[in-house]
A = this chain, B = another copy of it.
Amino acid sequence: MKKSALQKARAAYQPKLPYALKGSVVAVEGNPTQSVADQEEIKHLFPNTYGLPEITFEKNPNPTVGKPINVGVILSGGQAPGGHNVISGLFDGIKKIHRDSKLYGFLMGPGGLVDHNYVELTAPIIDEYRNTGGFDIIGSGRTKLEKVEQFDKGLEILKDLNIKALVIIGGDDSNTNAAVLAEYYKKIGAGVQVIGVPKTIDGDLKNSLIETSFGFDTATKVYSEVIGNIQRDCNSSKKYWHFIKLMGRSASHIALECALQTQPNVCLISEEVEANNQTLDQIVEYIAGVVARRAEDGNNFGTVLVPEGLIEFIPAMKRLIAELNDILAANATQFASLSPAEQREYIIKNLTPENSAAYASLPEGVARQLTLDRDPHGNVQVSLIETEKLLSEMVGRKLAKMKEEGKYKGKFATMHHFFGYEGRCAAPSNFDADYCYALGYNASCLINSGVTGYMSSVRNLVKPAVQWVSGGIPITMMMNMERRNGELKPVIQKALVDLDGKPFKKFAAQRGQWAVETCYIYPGPIQYFGPAEVCDQPTLTLQYEKLDK
A residues contacting B by CB (< 8 A) are 2-10, 75, 78-79, 108, 132-136, 139-141, 222, 225-226, 228-230, 232-233, 235-238, 242, 261, 263, 415, 417, 421-427, 519, 521-531, 533-534, 537
Contact = CB atoms under 8 A, between A and B. Distances in A.
Nearest to A135: B236
Given A9-B534, A424-B229, A527-B6, A522 B236 contact: no
A526 to B, nearest CB: 5
Contacts of A133: 229, 232, 522
A263 B1 CA distance: 11
A422 B230 contact: yes
A6 B523 contact: yes
B4 A425 contact: no
Contacts of A531: 9, 529
A399 B10 CA distance: 40
Contacts of A136: 232, 235-236
A32 to B, nearest CB: 39
A522 B11 CA distance: 13
A426 B231 CA distance: 10
Contacts of A225: 525
A132 to B, nearest CB: 7
A108 B425 CA distance: 38
A78 to B, nearest CB: 8
A233 B421 contact: yes
13 contacts: A4-B228, A5-B533, A7-B524, A9-B530, A135-B236, A136-B235, A222-B525, A226-B422, A233-B424, A233-B425, A426-B524, A525-B525, A529-B531
A421 B425 contact: no
A534 B5 contact: yes
B533 A9 contact: yes
Nearest to A263: B2
> Which of A133, A525, A529 lies at the interface centre, i.e. has the most chain B CB atoms within 10 A of its CB?
A525
Contact of A421 (B222, B415, B529): B415
Nearest to A227: B422
A222 B232 contact: no
A226 to B, nearest CB: 4
Nearest to A3: B521
B427 A421 contact: no
> Which of A235, A238, A421, A534 lies at the interface centre, i.e. has the most chain B CB atoms within 10 A of its CB?
A421
Given A236-B134, A421-B233, A534-B6, A522 B79 contact: no
A4 B235 contact: no
Contacts of A235: 134, 136
Contacts of A422: 226, 229-230, 417
Contacts of A233: 79, 134, 421, 424-425
Contacts of A522: 3-4, 7, 132-134, 425, 427
A530 to B, nearest CB: 3
A537 B421 contact: no
**3 shortest interchain CB distances as A-B pairs:** A525-B525, A529-B530, A134-B232
> Which of A78, A228, A229, A235 lies at the interface centre, i.e. has the most chain B CB atoms within 10 A of its CB?
A229
A294 to B, nearest CB: 16
Contacts of A426: 229, 524-525
A75 B236 CA distance: 10
A161 B242 CA distance: 37
B528 A6 contact: no
A400 to B, nearest CB: 18
Given A237-B141, A424-B229, A530 B528 contact: yes
Contacts of A236: 75, 79, 134-136, 139-140, 425
> Which of A3, A7, A423, A527 lies at the interface centre, i.e. has the most chain B CB atoms within 10 A of its CB?
A527
A6 B134 CA distance: 25
